[in-house]
Amino acid sequence: MATLIRVLLILVLSDSIVSIRGLGIGINYGQIANNLPSPSRVAYLLQSLNISKVKLYDANPNVLTAFGNSNVEFVVGLGNEDLQKMTDPIQAQTWIQQHVLPYIFQTKITCITIGNEVLTGNDTQLMSYLLPAMQTVYGALGSLGLKKDVYVTTAHSTGILGNSFPPSAGVFRQDLAEYIQSILNFHSQTDSPFLINAYPFFAYKDNPNQVSLDYVLFQSNPGTTDPITNLKYDNMLYAQIDAVYSAIKAMGHTDIQVRVSETGWPSKGDPSEVGATLENARLYNGNLLSRVQQNQGTPAKPSVPIDVYVFALFNEDLKPGPSSERNYGLYYPDGTPVYNIGLQGFLPRMDYSASYRNGLDFFHLLLFPVAFLICTL
């Protein structure tokens, strides 16, 4: 027994020491569900997974409090419904004072996203609010002494592209040019990234006879070659990212980083949603995680590691739309993995306060699986 315990300790400690550096990948923590674990339990889960970047769609105070004094960096969000209010400097400053200032000294809030996929909607009035809201929130951060700590951006659908292939010929839609040009100027002036929500799943679902499944899943495939640059692409996500870089360059900017604010693959869908299977989701997210851990860049930006937030942490049972929308999670709400991509997390059965959680030293967390294995012997 003693020898077995020593072996288990060596295995657990060696695996954990390797993972101290962090996975490098971010996660979208959506909460459109009625059966999710409490934020304090989720904080334990993400700590055990060694995920240190989380993106929210709001600024949920319970979540931000639960992650106090952790090493997790947070992106918080303002919804599309908030854009008009955020063009008012007083309301923008009040929002930051209520939703950011109380938490930022304990929880690492590094970004505020203003709206989501606004430019690919049909509301031109909302589009007109987008940049002024971004500028006003940034100005409010400056007046509160936070503009060096928190950047401001917005997330776009790849639907803003007028052309995406070959990647070097990527351009934005002409009807959106005036909006995007001003937004790019803002990013350049504030040194903030351009965010895209990129889903190769949609391209495959819409054209399964034209799009190679292996190509979209990062599996071995002949790939495609950009005839202009002669760069070879073995997956669609990298081609999408480089198409956005090309579109940005076509508007006169080479100083703006592109980050993937959402990408993922559903494990289940309606009969009409071709490709929405558990195995495809496992392959997509597992292969993506492997590439992120290798610090890969795209063919056009090989020295810039891809920066990705996977969608999503949990299946969300109240999301509207087709079945796929409720099945993007890496985990079921009870903490069980939907499929195995090599992530081994621990979701405790009870809630813990942030102070108690942070009072537990690193080795307590490492010993949870050892204790479990000993108890089962």
Catalytic residues: 117, 262
Helix H or strand E segment including 179: helix 177-190
Helix H or strand E segment including 109: strand 108-116
48 near 337, Cβ under 8 Å? no
d(CA 257, CA 307): 9
Nearest-5° Cα angle at 73, 68 to 153: 130
The tokens for 293 are: 């851990």
d(CA 355, CA 353): 5
Cis peptide preceding 312, ω within 30 of 0:
yes
243 near 297, Cβ under 8 Å? no
Q: Which residue reads 């803003």 in tokens?
A: 160
Report the chain's C-alpha Rg in angstroms. Answer: 21
Task: Judge residue 250's burial from the number of C-beta atoms within 10 Å of its C-beta, 0-12 exposed, 13-18 middle, 19 or more buried.
Answer: middle
SS3 360: coil
181 near 139, Cβ under 8 Å? no
Q: Is 2 left (phi over 0), alpha (psi -120 to 50) or beta?
A: alpha
Q: Which amino acid is at 117?
A: E
Q: Which residues fall within 8 angstroms of residue 78, CB to CB, at 6 or more apart? A: 58, 59, 86, 95, 112, 113, 114, 115, 133, 137
Q: Measured between alpha carbons, how far is residue 321 from residues 80, 212, 270, 271 in Å? A: 18, 26, 10, 14
